């Protein structure tokens, strides 16, 4: 089912998400399907459960959307349930990030270049995997949503000032993304 994407200002985006109940296989499968269906319509490269109003620790990423720029991401898709960051590299990189919950705003954000994450996949098997470059970026961005953290929180102070009016407009509903969205 395609769900509305919650926009900047929605309380669910600032909550720390609860762990997914691994015994609720049907519920997890339904949530993953909703995330995938919604992501396809929104044309994004990642989506976290809080972005569709569910404060649960589940995220999906799909590198195909950005594979023209990052060809190594062709076919890269992951579902991460109850992810835990095991380690992050000291080496950092900067990329311009955007977010379906903050339409029309982009900021250069510095994050670790590599990280190792332990998570459960769609088959509820535990996996430990290392990610680097833009795959790492996509996953870090989505994992931040599980902590109630948005990419704009990490923008340079001058950039935060520059976008503050746009963020206020989003929180007041003065934005019209091409996908179904909501504030509350």
| CA separation for the pair 126, 119 (Å, rounded) | 6
Q: Can you tell me the distance from the alpha carbon of 81 to that of 59, in angstroms, rounded to the nearest whole number?
A: 7
Known active-site residue 88: no
Pairing of strands 181-182, 5-6: parallel
Find the catalytic residue in 91, 123, 130, 142: 142
By the 8 A CB rule, do 50 and 20 touch?
no
| Under 8 Å between Cβ of 48 and 58 | yes
Alpha carbon separation from 78 to 7, 15, 87, 181 (Å, rounded): 23, 23, 18, 24
The residues assigned a catalytic role are 142
């Amino acid at each position: 089912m395609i769900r509305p994407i919650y926009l900047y200002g929605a309380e669910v985006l600032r909550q720390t998400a609860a762990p997914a109940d691994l015994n609720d296989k049907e519920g997890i499968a339904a949530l993953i399907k909703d995330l995938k269906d919604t992501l396809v319509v929104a044309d994004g490269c990642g989506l976290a459960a809080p972005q569709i109003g569910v404060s649960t620790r589940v995220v999906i990423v799909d590198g195909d959307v950005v594979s023209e720029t990052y060809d190594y991401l062709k076919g890269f898709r992951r579902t991460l349930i109850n992810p835990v960051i095991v380690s992050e590299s000291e080496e950092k990189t900067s990329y311009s990030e955007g977010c379906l919950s903050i339409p029309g705003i982009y900021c250069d954000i510095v994050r670790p270049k590599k990280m190792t994450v332990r998570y459960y996949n769609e088959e509820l098997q535990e996996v430990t995997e290392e990610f680097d470059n833009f795959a790492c970026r996509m996953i870090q961005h989505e994992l931040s949503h599980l902590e109630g953290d948005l990419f704009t929180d990490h923008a340079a102070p001058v950039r935060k000032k520059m976008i503050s009016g746009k963020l206020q407009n989003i929180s007041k509903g003065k934005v019209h993304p091409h996908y179904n969205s909501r504030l509350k």
